[in-house]
Amino acid sequence: MNVRTRRSAFTLIELLVVIAIIAILIALLVPAVQKVREAAARTQCQNNLKQISLGCHNFHDTYKCLPPGYVSQSYMGTLPFLLPFVEQAPLYNQMANNGVKFVVGASASPNGSWWGNGACWTASQALIPIFVCPSDDATSRTNVFAYIYTTGGSVTGGYFGGLTSPVLGRSNYGASAGALGNSTSSPPPAPYNKHFGPFYVDSKERLTVVVDGTSNTIFFGEMLGDDEKGSGNFSTTWFGGTNLPTAWALPSPGGWYAYGSKHTGIVQFGFGDGSVRAFRKFSGSTTDWFSTPWYNFQRAAGVRDGEVIDYSTIE
């Protein structure tokens, strides 16, 4: 005689308990995965800044000067000059073979806005991974600035940006102009003039100008081209996203006119020796002018102010 045993099914309560346990495990797992993802993105961003900063040294070895903060005749920024030194030689050669001359100084071609040159316009649409922070969603923002720059003028009129196009390749890194740019050709008022950076209008500085030491001088920092929420739907192109001022500190939420990032609480900076430091976003929605952190941030941006930086106030 065959006896069949009947298999018991899950009761509703048992099923609900299992579902609840799975939900709890997922709730615990998701934040951990997000933290790991952000840590990886932050590390990749550090590497990007390191490679870009070291690219300036290779540029200097070749041309005996640093690349310009931006070229006044064409509005070209710093990053296009570094293409051969960040493994983007084919893109650089594509422009060079079409008559674009990357001459340091105001005589660089094209002689006119870069977006009016066909070779530059085509090249500018390339998405270059080393110029993009993986924590940001810059490619989702459609209003892309064709240029931004710091003139070294007054606080109210020394920083400009304009023209947008959705096809332009984005960037999250801007060269340091220091507090308000070049204090020698267009002196801004004190106390900004002593904290000018290595990249300004038509600059072609040698590394010897960095009297404070490359390990104490910001070369590049993270930028968004917008606030942290992307409220204006703006980002900045690598071709004309040029030098940024440090005078507006590190506000949170940031603005297109200041350094900023999507990293939680910090903005990363590449220094002249290739090291990378993370500074906390120490300002609120408005800049805390002339505070102790503000002064130390300006000191880190200046090439030869001769002042000691207390990093504990900004890290």
pLDDT tens, residue by residue, 188-205:
667 788 898 999 888 899
Range from 33-37, 58-62, 164-168 carrying the lowest mean pLDDT = 33-37
pLDDT at 157: 43
Q: Is pLDDT of 297 > 90?
A: yes
Q: Is residue 47 in a domain?
A: yes
Give me the number of domains the chain comprises: 1
Q: Is residue 3 in a domain?
A: no
Q: Is residue 169 in a domain?
A: yes
Give the confidence band of 154 by pLDDT, cuts at 50, 70, 90.
very low
Q: Is residue 99 in a domain?
A: yes
pLDDT at 181: 82
**Between 160 and 207, whose confidence is greater?**
207
pTM of the predicted model, to two decimals?
Answer: 0.86
How many helices (DSSP H) and strands (DSSP E) are in the chain? 4, 9
Q: Is residue 114 in a domain?
A: yes
Strand order in the sheet with 276-280: 243-244, 173-176, 218-222, 266-271, 276-280
Q: Is residue 303 in a domain?
A: yes
Taking residues 84-88, report their average pLDDT: 95
Q: Give the residue numbers spanning the domain of 206.
A: 14-313
Taking residues 113-132, report their average pLDDT: 92
Q: What is the average pLDDT value for the chain, to the nearest integer?
A: 85
Taking residues 253-278, report their average pLDDT: 92
Q: Is residue 246 in a domain?
A: yes
Q: Is residue 1 in a domain?
A: no
Which one of 113-122, 135-144, 188-197 scores highest in mean pLDDT? 113-122
